[in-house]
Amino acid sequence: MTVQVTVWNEHVHERETESVRERYPDGIHGAIAAGLRTDGYAVRTRTLGDPECGLDPTTIEETDVLVWWSHCANDAIDDEVADRVVEAVHDGMGFIPLHSGKNSKPFVRLMGTSCSIKYRHGGERERVWVADPGHPIADGLDEQFIVPATEMYGEPYDVPEPDRTVFISWFEGGEVFRSGLCYRRGAGRIFAFRPGHEAYPIYHQPEIKRVLSNAVAWAQPTSGASVTTGEVDAVESFDA
Ligand code: ZN
């Protein structure tokens, strides 16, 4: 079965800032979607301006993996839509928040922490190290790669201890950051990936495209076991 991916983007910077629009003429969502389509995924895009913030129940129902980019409009997501995303993750939908999507309502609710960091603009170099080389999200990468210019994110990153840390970044200014973190919430898998500041062509970079493609494959729903909750009859007889 083809994995059904929805790439969601607030789509604000591309409309308001010419340099971002030139970098991403089809939007950040368009660039990400194009890469995933090349790798054989069925991809649709949605933006904040679509009805129900682009994430109506039918769209969510039809989504195996939701890739998410947001920044300045994080507070503009309806609470009801954020809850819908959180519930879908618990039910098995994969969720890949990118860059400042770490401050999105769904991710913060799924983490239960502030998700705060330190940051700095200025276009410094980022060296992304693979910290978990056997992890499927690292397939096909060298042990490290460079993002030539980016916004810095620095530790401490106030998130729960992840199940796996796939990437750790070093920045030219001296800070480090856990750049690729894996979580499970209910039946769903979450991969939080740091790179992607809108002022640089990061989603056109081959290593980044590779990570996103690998992450979608990793985050797709699995059928799992069927279980019962609540009060139940014993499955074996016993003396009370
Ligand atoms: Zn940024």
pLDDT score recorded for residue 224: 87
| Rounded distance from Cα 127 to ligand 1 centre (Å) | 16
C-alpha–C-alpha distance, residues 16 and 199, integer Å = 12
pLDDT score recorded for residue 38: 97
| Rounded distance from Cα 153 to ligand 1 centre (Å) | 9
| Rounded distance from Cα 100 to ligand 1 centre (Å) | 6
Whether 89 contacts 221, CB under 8 Å: no
| Rounded distance from Cα 151 to ligand 1 centre (Å) | 6
Report which residue type is found at 203. Answer: Y
| Rounded distance from Cα 192 to ligand 1 centre (Å) | 14
C-alpha–C-alpha distance, residues 20 and 200, integer Å = 8
pLDDT digits (tens, 9 = 90+) for 36-95: 999 999 999 999 999 999 999 999 999 999 999 999 999 999 999 999 999 999 999 999
Strand intervals (E) in the chain: 4-9, 42-47, 65-69, 94-98, 118-130, 144-154, 164-171, 176-185, 188-193
C-alpha–C-alpha distance, residues 139 and 136, integer Å = 5
Q: Where are the alpha helices (DSSP H) in the chain?
A: 13-16, 18-23, 27-38, 57-61, 79-90, 105-111, 206-219
Q: What is the CA radius of gyration of the chain?
A: 19
pTM: 0.96
| Rounded distance from Cα 74 to ligand 1 centre (Å) | 12
- Domains along the chain with CATH numbers: 4-112+179-219 (3.40.50.880)
Q: Predicted confidence band at 225 (pLDDT cuts at 50, 70, 90)?
A: confident
Encode burial over 205-238: b for 16+ CB neighbours within 10 A, e otherwise: bebbbbbbbbbbbbbbbeeeeeeeeeeeeeeeee
Whether 31 contacts 203, CB under 8 Å: yes
C-alpha–C-alpha distance, residues 184 and 131, integer Å = 19
Q: Where are the alpha helices (DSSP H) in 91-237?
A: 105-111, 206-219
Count CB neighbours of 56 within 10 A. Answer: 14
User: Dihedral of the CA atoms 77, 153, 126, 28 (nearest 10)?
Assistant: 10
Give the mean model confidence (pLDDT) for residues 111-121: 98
| Rounded distance from Cα 211 to ligand 1 centre (Å) | 18
| Rounded distance from Cα 236 to ligand 1 centre (Å) | 56
| Rounded distance from Cα 223 to ligand 1 centre (Å) | 35
| Rounded distance from Cα 224 to ligand 1 centre (Å) | 36
Residues around ligand 1, an ion, CB closer than 5 A: 100, 151, 197
| Rounded distance from Cα 119 to ligand 1 centre (Å) | 9
> Going by C-beta distance under 8 Å and a sequence separation of 6 or more, which residues neighbour residue 81?
52, 53, 55
